[in-house]
Structure 1
Amino acid sequence: MSHSPDRHQCPRPVCAGTVAPHARRGRAADPYRPMITPGRTPVRRPLPGRCRAVLEGHRTPGEVRLLAQQMAEVLVGRRAPEALRDRSSPAVREELRRLRGALPCRSAPRLERVFHQRSGDRLEAGAVIACDLRSRVFAFGARRRGGAWVCTDLETDGSL
């Protein structure tokens, strides 16, 4: 049934005025508006023809996020590298000793984002730290040892 903008004939009782309220809704009125049924969320899938790994989920595990926060605190100088003795390899601890306090930050570092990707028993993560008016970035690799993630590699944004 078509509706004219000035007057229409509609059997629906909701259409008491001159313009039908339901005539403005739906795909016909806005072809770019997605049609989502109530109670259902559209599934996110990678675009066809693209070679990329499917992410496991949107949320980084809490223990990985905590490890990133602790490493950020070492980089700012608010935590000793020895505090991460059980959570980092000797090479990473040595790197943290060298970089300790390299980020000038008057307040406690705040993680803005933490990204992660798993590949087998290995995990690679990246974190963005908010320090005063600047944002800094570091990345680390971790492996599962004894039920916990242990940092095995560390890279910073190069300005440290």
Structure 2
Amino acid sequence: MCRFTQLVAEVLAGQRNPAQMKALLSRRAYTLLVRRSGVYACARSPRVRRTYLHTEDPEVTEVNAVVDCDSRYRALALRVAFARDTWVCTHLETDVGRG
């Protein structure tokens, strides 16, 4: 889960193409990721510093992460569900929106 969160953070930083993540996200989550691509803009690659997993249901996990983006720390939340015989991100939230 940490590697997946790192890849999402790289898209949010504008350093990875969101299309590379399409198979791992629901349609809604992919749309959110594309819309927010680049909001974590930083000079170097972002680093996921901490990841917290919370599971209430064996088929759904919520991931909260702290992402280091140069001189700022950012918050990232993901909801991951078991669907189509694999884990798929169904929702994501950031501390920054595209306005």
Give 1:95's match in structure 2, choosing from 32, 38, 42.
Answer: 32
**Tell me, what secondary structure is at the counterpart of 2:15?**
coil
The answer to whether the aligner puts 1:145 opposite 2:77 as a matched pair is no
Residue identity matched to 1:65: C
Share of identical aligned residues, percent?
Answer: 33
Q: Decide which structure has greater helix share.
A: 2
The equivalent residue for 1:133 is 71
Aligned Cα RMSD in Å? 1.4
Deviation >4 Å, runs of 4+ = none
Q: Which has the higher contact order (CA 8 A, sep 6+)?
A: 2
Distance of 1:106 and 1:93 partners within structure 2: 24
Name the larger-Rg structure.
1
The answer to whether the aligner puts 1:115 opposite 2:52 as a matched pair is yes
Q: Decide which structure has greater strand share.
A: 2
Structure 2 unaligned blocks of 5 or more: none
Residue identity matched to 1:107: R
Residue identity matched to 2:86: A
Question: Where do 1:34-113 residues align within 5 Å?
Answer: 64-113=1-50
Distance of 2:73 and 2:49 partners within structure 1: 9
Residue identity matched to 1:92: A
